[in-house]
Chain A
């Protein structure tokens, strides 16, 4: 492992690669202030991962917040051009309360937003960039995709009431089919329909294999056009590595008030939660009085530190012990020569505590000897 590899964290490498990737596809960087009026988040609390926001009163008396989210600010501050297309990426810090923790955390988030006239190509491009982003992090990755609009229509088609829809979607997201079937039975939906519904939502696998199956099963219950469109989008990705990691799974769910179409979550082996999340959020756009459609995703960079564990076994290569009174210029020259050989060197008079080193050497009378 080169010195450069040791010094540049996975976080820094991934962040650079992602920004490079997005700019190659014509996305331009969107820079923003750390603060936003709190009102924006108060009106869209359900869109946020956590509704706990750091607030403060600015000098004009306005209630402000340290950004807990990037998408809302981009939508609010960008032009509404439904017939054009804006392609933006960002690398920004957001401030959130972590689940179960009693403190806020600064989290670096890198992502992109594509807003305006979102056609099949845009969906394909964003999904491709999302999968490529995952592959930038690791080879052992899975991108779960689903279609929230179709799932919502399917739930209506089966006969689940509006009041129970959120609960039904929650059960689908948990793969909690036992309680989902109980819910259907409570609503006196007939057994044949329940069985078919469970069969559909339990159909997972490569999108090109399972989407035709889902279309066939759902025909007659609901409109299958969204599934056919998703199939076209996936096929347009071509025979690439990006397509190989796609996995259709209805358990990718999000808030129906904001998301309406393709949704996806990326997982890296060894990380306990999804590291990437995104989807089409036309409903958020219309909630914010925008006529444009939109799709985007974010990569949660804070999770990458888990991948760095064990990467670096030593803090330095050599601890060089010297005695009081040595000639400073000679010691400096010795240290420079060890560094020139590719080592990281820490010169000390005493053995340092809590420093992991590969080798301990001693410098005395112009000579270097190995101690351990």
Chain B
């Protein structure tokens, strides 16, 4: 069990892409490709164990040591600030954290800005750095409708293509930070499994270099 490299993969398309990279890096686990409802997959030969978790939970699994390594979006790392190593920018799952508002919105610095978001920590830090007074409205989904219904002046959210924004007559006003998937590792596990983790980092770096 101690020799196993435990990997938390984000469920969904991103996770499948990540598994392909790990497989190519020398950590295959064919059973993961079988169509089943299982969540944990193990390959005794290569000493690797994968498990699918909700993308926003990957960092918790890694920080708490249930997984040695995992792949999480930079948005999650910035929001929850887990105490983990961030070993690689995998250059996939790219998007940006942005401030969006109704296309005709003009900010009035005399008034407190009402910000609707899932990412309260990121929003608070961003506006603190600008010295702007804000009122954070924490929402768990459908953030885009907040400015339409007058619940907020702006939203802070992930923007991929901008199509949803456009369809709702919203527009990006500022980009806070670019987002992509990151390879993270538990700080304690790294000390005891550094050979495997370093090999994984080397191999994935080589794959990324080759595909440039």
Contacts and interface: CB of A to CB of B under 8 A. Distances in A.
A213 interface: no
B113 to A, nearest CB: 25
A273 B60 CA distance: 12
Nearest to B68: A272
Contacts of A178: 88-89
Contact of A174 (B63, B66, B86, B186): B86
B64 A272 contact: yes
A291 interface: no
A274 B86 contact: no
A269 B192 contact: yes
A273 B189 CA distance: 9
A123 interface: no
B140 to A, nearest CB: 17
B55 to A, nearest CB: 17
A140 interface: yes
Contacts of B63: 272
B84 A273 contact: no
A237 to B, nearest CB: 19
A271 interface: yes
Nearest to B189: A272
Contacts of B31: none
Nearest to A272: B65
Contact of A267 (B2, B60, B191): B191
Which of A140, A178, A179, A247 has the most CB atoms of chain B within a 10 A radius of its CB?
Answer: A178
Given A178-B88, A178-B89, A273 B83 contact: yes
Given A144-B191, A274-B188, A269 B84 contact: no
Please report whether the interface of chain A is mostly helix, strand, loop or mixed according to DSSP: loop
A176 interface: yes
A142 interface: yes
Interface in B51-72: 60, 63-66
A273 B87 contact: no
Interface in B82-108: 83-89
Contact of B191 (A99, A142, A175): A142
Contacts of B64: 272
Nearest to A247: B191
B191 A273 contact: no
Interface in A122-142: 140, 142
A30 to B, nearest CB: 29
B11 interface: no
A251 interface: yes
B114 interface: no
Contacts of B83: 99, 273
A206 B188 CA distance: 17
B86 A140 contact: no
Contacts of B86: 174-176, 179
A175 B85 contact: yes
Interface in A149-177: 174-176
A247 B84 CA distance: 18
Interface in B120-158: none
B188 A273 contact: yes
A273 B62 CA distance: 11
A277 B63 CA distance: 17
B187 A267 contact: yes
B156 to A, nearest CB: 20
**Closest 6 pairs between A and B when the two form their complex, measured CB to CB:** A272-B65, A176-B86, A142-B191, A175-B85, A178-B89, A174-B86
Given A267-B191, A267-B192, 15 more contacts: A174-B84, A174-B85, A175-B87, A176-B86, A179-B86, A247-B191, A251-B85, A251-B187, A267-B187, A267-B188, A268-B188, A269-B2, A270-B2, A271-B188, A273-B83
10 contacts: A142-B191, A144-B191, A174-B84, A251-B187, A268-B188, A269-B2, A270-B2, A272-B63, A272-B186, A273-B65
